[in-house]
Structure 1
């Protein structure tokens, strides 16, 4: 397996490149519109063809690069089937293996950050790699105060789907805001300040409900745009329109 972690700095989003050398099949997990051209160039320089993009959920903090990359490379768009997006070519769901060539990716239904959130697990024979989306971050977790988020539901998703994985499972989140790249299940169980040391459900709910976080700066255009797989809606503010203009001119 060829693996590469890519970063988009404005939303602090990680995009993950997964390639099966045996079949020359490639997927990008959680691509960003702002860096779609860069990702296409990275693939070109690596001599890889992009077969599909795969999002963990409908993001509120950036526009997905799925539609733009489809225009640039002919890739298919995969989303959780529960979202039922007309723009998606493939629907993924828990209990059904999603194959990237010979690589088996297991979708995990992990609601709480959003009601349709999925994470993705790969076992490459040496390591288990968990792409945790926004549900579990490094020393943190996704917020639960919009998009049908629910703190108790997120707590159960993390404990029932993530913390039951082997301690050595590598955790690759969708975001990090402190310059960190990777964690493990053992580390998150031991030191995540929102979850560690078997924090009780009610204590977690109280913490999440009293965080007083600012209104997400891109949510008003990111959510409707991502419901169309990364199409720029008319209400994108001027300071964020550069990526949309590249898209429109494409």
Structure 2
């Protein structure tokens, strides 16, 4: 099994990459939206195909990357059947298996931190990925998102502490630089749940934590109920993030680079303004693009959402620049032209558009 533990410093979130070496199929556990480019680069470097993203719960401290990864790479998103997230492709119950080549991952519902928590057990690797249910020498809070100290206690003792003592514990977070533990260690040394603590003692501990409200909860929770694809503003309206690093030419054309477009496909609408023979010609077209030749743009996009981001594309950037300016005049709020057009995009594609790998080389497939 190929394994990597990745870290998001802003939220102290661990993301885990697991892959079957025979088929080069991979899963990501708890991907973070702000780290999607990092995760995609690692998948390319290791020559892996992302089959699944596994969420341990609806997060309150960061926005998940599962939706964006599904759009870009075609992965299947997995969440607990109790999470309340209809955006997921597969909703799991305790005992359900996720198979990736010879790698078999067992879902175990472990509610308590939230009502929709699930842990993932990999028996052949003697590992369990516990999300926020069981942390290293701690556990997730139980005072929001239908949390319950009593339920969390039962989840840990019935679903996790029943695993063999030598199973490695990989949590959703750590704030002190620790990376993993074992079931045996946590049964002995976890100050909240271990050492023979009773359910009543645990409930008293959790009731007296007096933790501050998570800073991102009002944005993260509703966004993650949509797999991280719709991000609410403070008024509750779904909006996109600041969507692109736009630079304007001397003529005022808003442009984005081919590398950025390649990395963010799926996050915007692609308007190709070439003629049909070019669109289907040697340079071909971007996945999911919509052909509206430049002379028909005004009529072709009249019913499009003016708030949705749009990238215009042509052969070398001239026509798409004119189209971008036309869309802005029509009231489109988020428009950019692909700088250099399909000519530059194909060159970036050939070069890989990625830095040299820093991880140890793995040959797969």
**For the superposition of Structure 1 and Structure 2, which TM-score range results when normalised by the shorter chain?**
over 0.9
SS of 2:170's equivalent in the other structure is strand
Deviations 1:74-114 (A, max 9, x none): 22211122335332122222122111222111111111001
Q: Report which structure shows greater RCO (CA 8 Å, sep ≥6).
A: 1
**What is the TM-score when the length of structure 1 is the normalising length?**
0.92
Deviations 1:202-245 (A, max 9, x none): 111001011000000010010000000012423169xxx99663
Gaps of 5+ in 1: none
In 2, the alpha carbon distance for the partners of 1:244 and 1:139 equals 38
Change (3 A) 1:234 1:97: closer
| Residue 82 (structure 1) aligns with | 82
SS of 1:199's equivalent in the other structure is coil
Q: How many Å apart are 1:122 and its aligned residue?
A: 0.4
| Residue 153 (structure 1) aligns with | 151
In 2, the alpha carbon distance for the partners of 1:216 and 1:25 equals 35
Contact 1:134 1:173 (C-alpha < 8 Å) held by counterparts? yes
RMSD between aligned alpha carbons?
A: 1.9
| Residue 22 (structure 1) aligns with | 22
| Residue-pair matches, total | 245
| Residue 10 (structure 2) aligns with | 10
Q: How many Å apart are 1:249 and its aligned residue?
A: 5.3
**What is the TM-score when the length of structure 2 is the normalising length?**
0.64
In 1, the alpha carbon distance for the partners of 2:232 and 2:156 equals 36
SS of 1:204's equivalent in the other structure is helix
In 2, the alpha carbon distance for the partners of 1:85 and 1:62 equals 16
Change (3 A) 1:178 1:66: same
| Residue 172 (structure 1) aligns with | 170
Q: Which has the larger radius of gyration?
A: 2
Gaps of 5+ in 2: 245-263, 270-365
Change (3 A) 1:183 1:75: same
In 2, the alpha carbon distance for the partners of 1:45 and 1:182 equals 25
Correspondence list, 1:201-216, <5 A: 201-216=199-214
Contact 1:111 1:118 (C-alpha < 8 Å) held by counterparts? yes
SS of 2:243's equivalent in the other structure is helix
Structure 1 runs of 4+ with >6 Å offset: none
In 1, the alpha carbon distance for the partners of 2:242 and 2:225 equals 16
Change (3 A) 1:72 1:236: farther
Q: How many Å apart are 1:193 and its aligned residue?
A: 1.1
The reply to whether residue 98 of structure 1 matches residue 73 of structure 2 is no
Contact 1:15 1:30 (C-alpha < 8 Å) held by counterparts? yes
